[in-house]
Amino acid sequence: MDPVERKAFTQDMIALFEERCRGYGNNVDVGHVLRGILGLIRVHKVRIDANFATLVVNALCIESLARTVCPSYNVLDAAKPLLQSYRRLCYSADGTPRPAARKSKLVKLWLSLMYVQKNALDALFFKREGRKIRQRTEAILTAVQTN
C-alpha cells in the first residue's frame, strides 16, 4: 500500500471511529463498527491475515447472538474493565506496545483476576435482567387474569 492509499485508509478509519465509537456507556454497536471496518478494508483493498478475518467474523456472530438474546447487554461496555486493564498494562501512555508486558506473569495474573471480576459483574447483570423479565411476566399474567 503506497503512502497516499495508507493516508486515505487511515483518514477513513478515523472518521468511522469518530462517527460510531462514542465511548463506553453509550451503547456502541460493536457489530456496526466491525462491519464498517470490514467495509473499509474491502474498499481500500487492504490485505489482512485470514486468522484476523475469522476472528472479526466470529466476533460479529457472537455480538449478534448476544444482542438477540439480551438487547440490553452491551459487549463493549461489559468488557470495559478488562480492556482498560490490558491497555494500562501492555501499552505505554503514548500508545506504544510494551512487548515484555504481554509475557509477564504478573500481567497474566492481573488479567485473570480482571476476567473473574468481569464474570461476576456479568452474573449480577443477568440476575437483574432475569428479575426484570420475571416481574414483567408476572404483571402480564396478573393483567390477563383480571380481565
Structural domain for 34, as ranges: 1-69
- Report whether pLDDT(7) > 90: yes
Which of residues 69, 97, 123 is at a domain's end?
69
Pairwise pLDDT comparison (22 vs 87), residue with the higher score: 87
Q: Taking residues 93-106, what's their average pLDDT?
A: 86
Query: What is the pLDDT confidence band of residue 76, given thresholds at 50, 70 and 90?
Result: confident
Domain count, the chain: 2
Q: What is the pTM of this model?
A: 0.65
Query: What is the pLDDT confidence band of residue 5, given thresholds at 50, 70 and 90?
Result: very high
108 SS3 class: helix
Which residue, among 118, 28, 37, has the nearest Cα to 67 in the 3D structure?
28
Which of residues 10, 44, 69 is at a domain's end?
69
